[in-house]
Amino acid sequence: MSKVTLKGFITVPLEDFNTVINELPNHIKLTEQEPGCLVFKVTQDAHDQCRFNVYEEFDNKTSFKAHQNRVRSSKWGQVTGNVTRHYTIEGA
């Protein structure tokens, strides 16, 4: 199976910013512990505090889909319900 790569960014509404920024370290920690996670980076943009650049690599489609499913039912999934996502996914 081939690697899955997600690249892009999320834009966080200002009213959700504090909640999202507070949950981000936990989200990163949990994702890095997932089987198949090769790279997981979420970094705040230098020019726009409400934009977070995202780069993910998973070893295959199965591990990527498992990550997506976990996120939907996680606290991160709840606190980012209002964010706008701009992603491209390769290998899925």
Q: What is the CA radius of gyration of the chain?
A: 13
pTM of the model: 0.91
For the chain, percent of residues with pLDDT exceeding 90: 96
Residue 46 has pLDDT above 80, yes or no: yes
Residue 88 has pLDDT above 70, yes or no: yes
- State the DSSP H helix or E strand holding residue 79, giving kind and residue range, or none if neither: helix 75-79
Residue 59 has pLDDT above 90, yes or no: yes
Domains and CATH numbers, the chain: 4-90 (3.30.70.100)
Angle between helices 61-72 and 17-32 (to 10 degrees): 140
pLDDT classification of 1: cutoffs 50, 70, 90: low
Mean per-residue pLDDT for 22-30? 97
